[in-house]
A = this chain, B = another copy of it.
Amino acid sequence: MKGEFDFITRHFRPLAGEESLDLRDDCALIPFASKFSGQEIAVSTDTMVENVHFLPSDPPYTLGKKLLRCNLSDLAAMGASPYAYTLNVTVPKLDKYNDAWFQDFSRGLKEDQSFYDIHLIGGDTTSTSGPLVLSATIFGTVPQGQALRRNTAQIGDSLWVTGTIGDAALGLLALQSKIPDPTGFLTQRYRLPEPKTTLKLNTIVNAAMDISDGLLQDSQHLSHESGVFISIWPHKVPRSQAARKLGNEWLELCLTGGDDYELLLACSPSNEKALQHECLEKNVQITKIGYMASGQGVRLLNEADQTIPFPKRLGWQHF
């Protein structure tokens, strides 16, 4: 008993908001009704498993951040403001997971809590004979009826992405010593996604989702959910300087690799200026990469607007 409670006191109580009741009771209590009148609650949950979603060599300092940021990206995709989260940590019985490890882990969480203005309200710590498993459930608020959906893209909308695409997939390869990453930029992008939580797009775009399984696969989801036919110009897909330096033979990986945590947006022509203005205000790169027409599915177009072959492996297979 003492071990567990001391452990929570040391590492997690400093992260806890008042709703957590100091992580000492059976539940957290959120006074939603009095605190968020006229708001809906957006809830998302993500699990990260060692050797599947992160590497054993990834520093604990970035692991908690990555977990939070993947969840925050889901909130950003709904246009919800981050509020709080619960955390489930399932830890291997190995010497590696000592006090120093958890100090680094919770230091990373603490920094991101402060940066994204969220706090911990509950959790569970368990042990396992297997790899490290981290789950977080995140809560955000969004004005009633204004959540952004992925099933509301319209025919005639243009397709946009934030940031640059493919860096995280390349970062994973760099960490596996398969490609060079002299500046460490790609590695950083794999370890620390940058969810676009500051953007207020609820009244600007028609549809939004986050890109986590690869741009092309997620575009297929958008197409399927909204019932639109999506055309994408691969040569317009924004790539970082580090990604471009590797050469065009890596373009396909950028289009299909996972872990971008950028936003995929559908915007009517009349709101494109507003979209660009909001992104400029918030210092977020935004690029038009395609458009929606009637039909179903996704195609790729070259610079002459001719259809080009579609990659076979489309993106991250979860399961």
Contact = CB atoms under 8 A, between A and B. Distances in A.
Interface of A: 1, 3-4, 7, 19, 21, 24-34, 36-49, 51-53, 73-75, 77-78, 80, 86, 88, 90-92, 121-131, 133, 135, 137, 140, 142, 144, 147, 149-151, 209-210, 213, 217, 220-221, 225, 314-315, 317-319
Contacts of A90: 47, 49, 133
Most chain B Cβ neighbours within 10 Å, of A26, A33, A86, A125:
A26
A42 B28 contact: yes
B51 A27 contact: no
A292 to B, nearest CB: 18
Given A3-B317, A32-B36, A128-B52, A43 B86 contact: yes
Nearest to A42: B27
Contacts of A25: 78, 149-151, 209, 225
Contacts of A73: 26
- Oligomeric state, in copies: 2
B47 A86 contact: no
Given A130-B130, A319-B91, A32 B29 contact: no
Nearest to A216: B1
B27 A124 contact: no
A27 B1 contact: no
B26 A209 contact: yes
A27 B78 contact: yes
| Nearest 3 interchain pairs by C-beta | A130-B130, A26-B77, A27-B42
A1 B314 contact: yes
